[in-house]
Every structure is written in structure tokens, then in C-alpha cells.
Amino acid sequence: MSEARPPLPPFTRATAIQKVRAAEDAWNSCDPARVALAYTQDSRWRNRSEFVVGRAAIVDFLTRKWARELDYRLIKELWAFTENRIAVRFAYEWHDDSGQWFRAYGNENWAFDEAGLMRHRHASINDLPIKASDRLFHWPRTGPRPADHSGLGDLGL
């Protein structure tokens, strides 16, 4: 349990929300090594059409992702939970190297081990091109979403 990542299962509504916000904050750091620490050594992902296994592969995947998805900002929201599983919906905004902005929408299903590390992550994601003027996520890059920034429901997403 030296790698314990509280909150630990079984989740309550409050601890599931805490887990979701911790994941959002880590992903908004755009630090692949930091993000990977939340997953088991042999974690298995399905991200869009890509299958990723293990922390080293997660770091490689996220390094590629954030080299391509610039000025990334993410909001996650709890959808449902059970004892050791959490479902979230999310949206994130980013632009490519040509300056085209996108908003990605998706859902993730997570399963955790007893130490609170994620052992499975299944993500379904769709990208929608948007104008820069249509962006809704405004806070400093590679930082957490401010506590007073609207969530997905308040933004109509």
C-alpha cells in the first residue's frame, strides 16, 4: 500500500467527487509523469481507438497527446459510482498547431484497486471544431480549474 492514492474505495458520493476532481487537476497539469502515478503499474486503457497498457505507455501516450493538443484545459464531472468504479463525463478544449480550436466531449469508466489506483480506464471521445471566440474554459494553462469556474452543467455542456 505504499502507493496508496486516497480517497480509497469503497467510494461515497463525496469521495467519488474528490477522486474526479483530483484526476481533473492532475490532467490539467499536462505532466504525463504526474498523471501516470494515479494508475496501477499494469493499468489498461482504451482511449478512443488506442489501447495502452502500463505506466510507461501512459506517459508515452500523454506526451504525444499534449504535444498535439495545445493549451489543453479539462473539466470532469461525476456521472455515477459504485464501490470501486466511477463514471465521469468530461469536456476539454485545445488547439492544434495551426490554431484551430476544438472541444472534445466524452465519457470515461474507471475501475480502481484497493489502494485507490486506477487499473482500468475506458474513454470514448468526440472532437468538435470551435471558433476561438466560442471557448468556455478560461484559466491559466497547466493549472487546476479555479474553484469558482463553472462546471459542465453550469456551462450548458
Provide the pLDDT confidence category of residue 64 given band limits of 50, 70 and 90: very high
Domain-embedded: residue 36: yes
pTM for the model stands at 0.95
Cell for 7? 480517497
At 141 the pLDDT is 86
Domain-embedded: residue 43: yes
Percent of the residues in the chain that have a pLDDT greater than 90, as a whole number: 96
Domain residue limits at 60: 13-134
The CATH code of the domain that includes 35 is 3.10.450.50
Domain-embedded: residue 39: yes
Domain-embedded: residue 149: no
pLDDT tens, residue by residue, 4-13: 999 999 999 9
Tally of structural domains, the chain: 1
pLDDT tens, residue by residue, 137-151: 999 988 899 999 999
Domain-embedded: residue 75: yes
Domain-embedded: residue 79: yes
Let me know if 131 is exposed, middle or buried by CB neighbors in 10 A (0-12, 13-18, 19+).
exposed
Where helices occur in the chain by DSSP H, the ranges are: 13-28, 32-36, 55-68
CA pair distance 58, 119, nearest whole angstrom: 12
With contact defined as beta carbons under 8 Å apart, do 111 and 122 qualify?
no
